[in-house]
Amino acid sequence: MYTVAAVAKDASGFDSTRSVVCRGLSQQAARPLMAISSLHRKAPGEVLFAEGDEADSIYEVVRGTVRLYKLLLDGRRLVIAFLSAGHLLGLALDGIWVYTAEAITDVTLCRYKRRAFERLVDEVPGLARRLLAATSDELRAAQERMLLLGRKSATEKVASFLVLMAGQQGSDDAEDLAIPMTRSDIADYLGLTIGTVSRTLTKLIQQGVIALPTANRIEIRDRDELEALAAGEADDDL
């Protein structure tokens, strides 16, 4: 369990002043939030919680990448999101989890007790506004995903995914991307087959838009072209 000093930082290097929940709050306002929190670590492939479990906590990803997915009635998997540092899980849920969360990499999470957290929303100055900003970000991401699945070609989908990963890794100018998820994960997220994802990546490489130095890293060679493809503003002859 956390105890908070002038600046709360544990052995993992997690600093409460950089928490998406505490960002913009005074140290005094952050103290009760840290008092109801604890750090948890998960290894790759380990489940944080499963669909149907009681949703008794709110989580913030501190480090690593988490995969959210649902299993459809016919056994197919739908990957809902890939979450990295600074993303929250469970703000809008009530009762039970409606998806499964699983670690893709080594993951560190900050867990807040839901009932205590909800009480603090009315007590901590600025917290409600902070959460409104976070839920607005979640809504915008959901709307973008609807567009991604419903209206875009395979090339536009893969290009959009790479632009999204660049943004999640801290900079819109990132050129060297860590892609820890499998091709199967990407396919289940984009609503494509594994073969289509692999062929599209290969053609992007051939056109000089990206390079693939290793299976889990992608270099963006032509960001303007990649963003144009993602937006549907370039000739899609892939």
pLDDT of amino acid 10: 46
Amino acid at 109: L
Cβ-count burial of 10 within 10 angstroms (0-12 exposed, 13-18 middle, 19+ buried)? Answer: middle
* 3-state DSSP of 79-109: EEEEECCCCEECCCCCCECCCEEEECCCEEE
pLDDT in tens, 202-226: 999 999 999 999 989 999 999 999 9
pLDDT of amino acid 235: 64
Q: Could you tell me which of 3, 24, 19 has the C-alpha nearest to residue 124?
A: 24
φ and ψ at 176, to 5 degrees? Answer: -115, 105
Domain boundaries along the sequence of the chain: 16-137, 152-230
Average pLDDT, the chain: 83
Q: What is the CATH number of domain 152-230?
A: 1.10.10.10
pLDDT in tens, 13-45: 455 545 777 776 777 777 888 888 889 999 999
Reply yes or no on whether the pLDDT at 172 is more than 70.
no
Amino acid at 43: A
pLDDT of amino acid 30: 78
Strands 37-42 and 107-113: antiparallel
Reply yes or no on whether the pLDDT at 4 is more than 70.
no
**Residue 162, token pair as written in the block:** 């790479």
φ and ψ at 119, to 5 degrees? Answer: -65, -35
Residue 235 to residues 155, 163, 217, 229, 238, Cα–Cα distance (Å): 10, 18, 26, 8, 9
Q: What is the mean pLDDT of residues 60-85?
A: 91
Contact call for residues 90 and 39 (beta carbons, < 8 A): no
Residue 60 to residues 22, 86, 147, 204, 214, Cα–Cα distance (Å): 11, 6, 26, 34, 29
Top CATH class, 16-137: mainly beta
pLDDT in tens, 86-132: 888 887 767 899 999 999 999 999 999 888 888 888 888 778 877 77
pLDDT of amino acid 182: 94
- Does this model's pTM top 0.85? no
Enclosing H/E stretch for 232: none
In three-state secondary structure terms, 110 is strand
Q: How far apart are CA 48 and CA 66, in angstroms?
A: 9
